[in-house]
């Protein structure tokens, strides 16, 4: 036996104890991913076909049409990028910023920080306006900064997952157009769940993810861009520095030519088509209403139990609620208790809110009255067990 074969045999012997893959049942009520819809999982399990198969190319067209409906736009270049939401976030920077160009980023949480980090790596001239985690910008603040700084791109997070803030976007698109600036929106925690009107709000670039409002597993990042963005992309002086995310190349695959770019994750596109189809069948306005109603039920129930919410109701995000951890409570202990004993996940705070809040997600398939009632009942019966001081009240 050669040395190479001996090593292989030893590995086989050592690895033989592994059983088939098993995943415990979980209700994912954290910041994402959320549970995939059962019909989406059925679509995901279909047998793969070639990414240039006529049947798959037809499915790609379905996905684009359904995405336009969910985005409420007529943008030609609308597609699910291969990769999680951060891939489309980076594509938005890599394709539309050239070295030295100005980008203005409105930062009010962790994902604003991520935009700043990416823009810096692509050698943009980055300007930042900032709000405390839990507050939103007002129109006048944004208008002043755009008119003063004259950026090539203005970027803002619509639904900030780290803080639970829903940012109003009305009027910003008009300001951007008057100042020859592209309007870039992070819609990772809003697409398919909350009112989002890309054309009406004059959003030039937007991106999201598959694992939240669309009720799919992680792996795709819906993206859309209008003619203003296409013009900026076509007028670049330099080649897009990221080959995989180069939209001028992806356009040839997702456009009319269907020219091979990379091996597409075909099963994930089966899944997203089904998730988008379910949204279209329910109707967007009904989807938006369901998320708002269930969020308000959660908010009222938590407050009736004496819990304090981190964000004022005027700017509270229906898909992701930040709940202040009472000073007398072991926050991690309670989260672990819910997961270990009831199979329910809620999230810890992120960044500067770590250890200060829990993050409760009601997104897509998981936004239901039944899930709200189940979680509120557990807060009522179980939270007292995790008080650091036995006599404490919340």
| Domain-embedded: residue 13 | no
Q: Has residue 393 been placed in a domain?
A: no
User: 229, 251, 281: which is the final residue of a domain?
Assistant: 281
In a domain, 221, yes or no: yes
* Predicted confidence (pLDDT) at residue 211 exceeds the cutoff of 90: yes
> Are 90 and 144 part of one and the same domain?
yes
249 and 350 share one domain: no
What local confidence, expressed as pLDDT, does residue 52 receive?
85
Tell me, yes or no, whether 138 and 65 share the same domain.
Answer: yes
pLDDT of residue 305: 96
Confidence band, pLDDT 50/70/90 cuts, at residue 252: confident
Do both 273 and 306 map to the same domain?
A: no
Closest-CA residue to 157 (of 86, 246, 217): 86
298 assigned to some structural domain: yes
* Same-domain pairing of 257 and 362: no
- Using 50, 70 and 90 to split pLDDT, how confident is the model at 51? confident
Instruction: Please identify, among 262, 281, 300, the residue that sits at the C-terminal boundary of a domain.
Output: 281
Q: Are residues 362 and 267 in the same domain?
A: no
Does some domain include residue 344?
yes
Q: Which residues, 6 or more positions from 151, have their beta carbon under 8 angstroms from its beta carbon?
A: 102, 103, 104, 127, 181
Secondary structure element (H or E) that encloses residue 347, with its range: strand 347-348
Residue 7 covered by a domain: no
Structure tokens given for 78: 């609308």
Q: Give me the pLDDT at residue 261, please.
A: 86
Does any domain span residue 14? no
Whether the Cβ atoms of residue 212 and residue 194 lie closer than 8 Å to each other: no
What does the pLDDT look like over 163-198, one tens digit per residue? 999 999 999 999 999 999 999 999 999 999 999 999
Q: Do residues 144 and 267 both lie within one domain? A: yes
Cα(371)–Cα(294) distance, integer angstroms: 9
- State yes or no: pLDDT of 1 exceeds 50: no
Indicate if 266 and 313 belong to the same structural domain.
no
- With bands split at pLDDT 50, 70 and 90, how would you rate the model's confidence at 4? low
Q: Do 350 and 233 reside in the same domain of the chain?
A: no
Structure confidence at residue 260 (pLDDT): 80
- pTM assigned to the model: 0.93
Q: What is the CATH number of the domain that holds 348?
A: 3.90.1150.10
Shared-domain flag, residues 366 and 275: no
Residue 20 covered by a domain: no
CA distance 151 to 165: 24
Residue 391 has pLDDT above 50, yes or no: no
> Given 233, 249, 281, which residue is the final one in a domain?
281
Cβ atoms of 120 and 271 closer than 8 Å: no
What's the number of domains the chain is made of? Answer: 2
Burial 248-267 (b: 16+ CB within 10 A, else e): eebbebbeeebeebeebbbb
Domain at 70, CATH number: 3.40.640.10
78 shares a domain with 227: yes
Q: Kindly tell me if the per-residue pLDDT of 392 is higher than 70.
A: no
Radius of gyration of the chain (CA): 23
* Mean pLDDT, range 336-363, rounded to an integer: 97
Domain of residue 302 covers 27-33+283-386
Query: For the ranges 51-55, 120-124, 228-232, 258-262, which has the lowest average pLDDT?
Result: 258-262
CA distance 252 to 356: 47
Cα-Cα-Cα-Cα dihedral sign, residues 127, 130, 133, 138: negative
pLDDT at residue number 16: 73
Residues 331, 266 share a domain:
no
């Amino acid at each position: 036996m050669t040395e190479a074969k001996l090593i292989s045999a030893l590995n086989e012997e050592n690895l033989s104890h592994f059983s088939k893959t098993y995943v415990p049942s979980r209700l994912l009520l954290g910041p994402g991913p959320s549970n995939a819809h059962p019909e989406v999982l059925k679509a995901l399990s279909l047998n793969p076909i070639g990414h240039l198969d006529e049947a798959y190319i037809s499915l790609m067209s379905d996905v684009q049409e359904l995405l336009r409906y969910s985005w409420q736009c007529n943008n030609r270049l609308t597609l699910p990028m291969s990769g999680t939401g951060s891939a489309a976030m980076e594509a938005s920077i890599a394709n539309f910023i050239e070295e030295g160009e100005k980008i203005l980023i409105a930062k009010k949480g962790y994902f604003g920080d991520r935009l700043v980090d990416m823009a810096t790596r692509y050698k943009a001239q980055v300007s930042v306006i900032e709000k405390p985690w839990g507050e939103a910008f007002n129109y006048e603040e944004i208008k002043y900064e755009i008119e003063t700084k004259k950026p090539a791109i203005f970027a803002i997070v619509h639904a900030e997952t780290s803080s639970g803030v829903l940012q109003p976007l009305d009027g910003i698109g008009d300001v951007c157009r008057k100042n020859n600036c592209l309007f870039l929106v992070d819609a990772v925690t809003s697409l398919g769940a909350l009112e989002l009107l890309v054309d009406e709000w004059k959003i030039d670039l937007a991106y999201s993810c598959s694992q939240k409002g669309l009720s799919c597993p992680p792996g795709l990042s819906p993206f859309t861009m209008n003619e203003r963005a296409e013009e900026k992309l076509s007028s670049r002086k330099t080649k897009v520095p990221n080959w995989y995310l180069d939209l001028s190349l992806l356009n040839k695959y997702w456009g009319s030519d269907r020219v091979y770019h990379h091996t597409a994750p075909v099963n994930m596109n089966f899944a997203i088509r089904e998730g988008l189809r379910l949204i279209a069948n329910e109707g967007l306005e009904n989807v938006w209403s369901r998320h708002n109603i269930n969020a308000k039920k959660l908010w009222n129930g938590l407050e009736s139990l004496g819990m304090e919410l981190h964000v004022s109701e005027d700017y509270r995000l229906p898909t992701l609620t930040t709940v202040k951890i009472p000073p007398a409570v072991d926050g991690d202990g309670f989260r672990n208790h819910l997961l270990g004993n009831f199979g329910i996940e809620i999230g810890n705070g992120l960044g500067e809110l770590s250890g200060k809040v829990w993050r409760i997600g009601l997104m897509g398939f998981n936004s239901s009255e039944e899930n709200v009632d189940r979680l509120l009942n557990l807060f009522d019966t179980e939270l007292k067990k995790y008080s650091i001081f036995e006599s404490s009240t919340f």
